[in-house]
Amino acid sequence: MKESIKKPFYTDVLMAGFGGQGLMFIGKLLAFTAMKEKKNVTWIPSYGPEMRGGKANCTVVISDEEIASPVITSPHALIMMNNPSLEAFESMLKSGGVLIWNASLITKQIKRKNITAIPVRANELAAQVGGEKAANMVMLGAYIAYTGVLAKEAVVKALKEFLGAKKSHFFSVNVRAFEKGMECVANIR
């Protein structure tokens, strides 16, 4: 996003999907990476009684300044994984903002006109690199490529640390999915 490159740096993004689609994970990863890059950052989840299947969303704020509200009414960007999420959050997106939507699962028409909508066939692209469950990382890749909020290398480095030794076997498929998402946006542009 052009406007987010202004000094001091500030951006925010809301991401949503079904519980289990890994939206909380990529939100935390994004925030963790930004922290490693010396930014101020907040990550705030929707929290509900259900562990999987229910609606899940989180909001990440990244800034050079002290972060005031971690709760965002009109985010600069949306990452939407499914129809119910799109329905719930499309109207909140800031004018001129970017909507990254999962074209593998979303069948609804995008209604907003004054925004940039980027379709990403996240589930297919993730399956191509050997892990359909990494569709979340495809979406994150698309977001990073489009916004340039953080460098690719920074995300990959942070991912390694974030997964830790216990989950290190997920590292390479996640990186491949992330790269696939980045390529997908490069192709659109």
Residue numbers at the binding site for other proteins (CB under 8 A): 28, 31-32, 35, 40-45, 47-49, 67-71, 73-74
Other beta carbons within 10 angstroms of residue 113's beta carbon come to: 7
Rank residues 107 and 165 by Cβ distance to other proteins and give the closer one: 165
Closest CB 68 distance from other proteins, rounded Å: 4
Task: Determine how β-strand 10-18 pairs with β-strand 77-80.
Answer: parallel
Rank residues 70 and 148 by Cβ distance to other proteins and give the closer one: 70
User: Is there a contact between 140 and 156 (Cβ–Cβ < 8 Å)?
Assistant: no
Rank residues 29 and 126 by Cβ distance to other proteins and give the closer one: 29
Closest CB 35 distance from other proteins, rounded Å: 4
Q: What is the DSSP string of 16-32?
A: EEETTSSHHHHHHHHHH
Residue carrying the six token digits 């996240």: 122
Cis preceding linkage at 8, omega within 30: yes
Rank residues 62 and 129 by Cβ distance to other proteins and give the closer one: 62
Closest CB 87 distance from other proteins, rounded Å: 20
Q: What are phi and psi of 40, to 5 degrees?
A: -80, 145
Closest CB 179 distance from other proteins, rounded Å: 24
Rank residues 31 and 144 by Cβ distance to other proteins and give the closer one: 31
Q: What are the residue ranges of helices labelled H in 98-168?
A: 122-128, 135-147, 152-163
Closest CB 14 distance from other proteins, rounded Å: 13
